[in-house]
Amino acid sequence: MVKHPTVSAWQRDHEEGGYTAELHGWTLRVRWIPERPGELRGFVWEAVDPSGNKVTSPEIHEEIEVAMAHAEERAAPDPKKHEGKTVD
């Protein structure tokens, strides 16, 4: 199953690379981690809530859309009611 982002507001961040979005007062970021010896490559996300608390991705995602969807899920007011869809 693959998660897909629901927010079409993701914008390219040309200064830092990656993508950013604002959702429910949260600032979301997704960035690329290049492959290094002994480490995986892929996308990680971070979500900063309105009070400035940061939550970061516990894993590296192969697909950027999956990282975006996980970031959006974290910022959802009630993750159980998140509008994102899981598809096969």
Averaged pLDDT for residues 57-72? 93
Residue ranges per structural domain of the chain: 2-87
Q: Report the predicted TM-score, pTM, of the whole model to 2 decimal places.
A: 0.79
13-60 residue pLDDT tens:
888 889 999 998 999 999 999 988 988 899 999 999 999 999 999 999
DSSP 49: -
pLDDT value for 82: 45
- b/e map of 15-54 (b: 16 or more CB within 10 Å)? eeebbbbebeebbbbbbeeeeeeeeeebbbbbbbeeeeee
pLDDT(1) > 70:
no
Q: Please, which pLDDT band fits residue 2 given cuts at 50, 70 and 90?
A: low
27's tokens: 């600032």
